[in-house]
Amino acid sequence: MVILDGKATADQIKLEIAAKVDEIVKHGGKRPHLAAILVGEDGASQTYVGHKEKACALVGFKSTILRLAADVSQEKLLEEIAKINADKDIDGLIVQLPLPKHIDEQKVIEAIDPKKDVDGFHPVNVGRMVLGLPSFISATPYGIMELLTRYNIETAGKHCVIIGRSNIVGRPLANLLSQKSNPGDCTVTICHSRTKNLKEHTLMADIIIAALGVPEFLKGDMVKDGAVVIDVGITRMKADTKTGFRLVGDVLFSEVSPKSSFITPVPGGVGPMTIVSLLKNTLKASGN
């Protein structure tokens, strides 16, 4: 069993990006610039944005965070997006989700200039991705594809079962893994809350991607020997620790890992790859 070390892989990619930025600046180019809009005081969102800001500093990007009150109007938020769209110094823009209930998330996503949509959520980027055209791919699927690449995991002809059908992870991954590419050329099954006999599907899978947000859902008896297991979930569970909680994924690691050929840990697996993929998209958005 091999641990797919997302943290070490992401650290290596950050070094590669930093070297590229040094070259760009040395030759008179502009530093890539990522802007983030954070609405409200949600603790998890603040943490995520903080991680992104720190990652930008590590690779030599400029970063800007616009913090808006939780009761900001949708109109005001759209105005701020329009300003950033028009700012030629800013290459990439993310609006941290989730947003307060009075704001239409889809309208906000569609307001972002597709050329600055480094989250890869805009319908233009989703459509281009589905067609196999150059696009910004949403960061978590992009990170998973990069992890498969860096560990030379064979995907061609394999049966991949994805548990979860979100527009952010499950559906994009299904498309990417079924495309004629490497990684890719998989036969893909998407399972979800309405899937009957889910265990029958997972037991046939060569690759399982768990992205449903249910702590320790995937048990050892649901996985065949030698399967590759990618755990996208991360949930805080109360625990007798200094912090009072522990982080767990959608996979019961203690049962599944002995049966796996490759497996991602939580934390330290998919999470770091998501952030570094956002940096890769921003570098691409800057034209480099």
The alpha-helical segments, DSSP class H, found in the chain are 6-26, 43-59, 74-86, 105-111, 123-130, 139-150, 170-178, 198-203, 253-256, 270-285
Pairing relation of β-strands 235-238 and 245-248? antiparallel
The residue among 38, 124, 123, 117 whose CA lies nearest residue 77 is: 38
Number of CB atoms found within 10 A of residue 256's CB: 24
* Annotated active-site residue in 5, 91, 117, 119: 119
What is the rounded CA–CA span in Å between residue 14 and residue 9? 9
* Annotated active-site residue in 5, 14, 91, 96: 96
39: left (phi over 0), alpha (psi -120 to 50) or beta: beta
Based on the residue annotation, tell me whether 52 is a catalytic residue of this protein.
yes
Based on the residue annotation, tell me whether 96 is a catalytic residue of this protein.
yes
What is the rounded CA–CA span in Å between residue 211 and residue 193? 12
- Please compute Rg for the chain using Cα positions: 19
Dump the DSSP string for 45-80: HHHHHHHHHHHHHHHT-EEEEEEE-TT--HHHHHHH
CB 90 within 8 A of CB 116: yes
Token digits of residue 224: 């065949």
Based on the residue annotation, tell me whether 74 is a catalytic residue of this protein.
no
* Annotated active-site residue in 5, 14, 52, 231: 52
CB 162 within 8 A of CB 190: yes
Q: Which residues are catalytic?
A: 52, 96, 119
